[in-house]
């Protein structure tokens, strides 16, 4: 299983200063890396321009959820 982790940055809060938040976690659990990346590819075009208009940048990454099986 995989999950989406994001880094969210508010650009130029003060001149030359960004404020970033790390490890923002989406609530989805996705079965495969390919499906996870496809979900990101679906999300990005929808939110890209509104975020640019507000000087917000997001970097998405799919990470494997560690197995808890014994």
Say if residue 57 is exposed, middle or buried (CB neighbours under 10 Å; 0-12, 13-18, 19+).
Answer: middle
Q: What is the pLDDT at residue 46?
A: 96
Q: What is the pLDDT at residue 9?
A: 96
Q: What is the pLDDT at residue 50?
A: 95
pLDDT mean by block of 10 residues, the chain; 70 residues: 96 90 92 97 96 95 85
Q: Give the closest residue to 28 by CA, choosing from 42, 46, 14.
A: 42
pTM of the model: 0.81
Q: What is the pLDDT at residue 70?
A: 57
């Amino acid at each position: 299983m995989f999950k989406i982790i994001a880094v969210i940055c508010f650009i130029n809060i003060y001149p030359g200063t960004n404020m970033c938040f790390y490890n923002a976690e989406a609530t989805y659990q996705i079965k495969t890396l390919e499906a996870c990346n496809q979900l990101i590819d679906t999300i990005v075009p929808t939110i890209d321009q509104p975020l640019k208009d507000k000087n917000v940048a997001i970097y998405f990454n799919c990470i494997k959820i560690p197995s808890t099986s014994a």
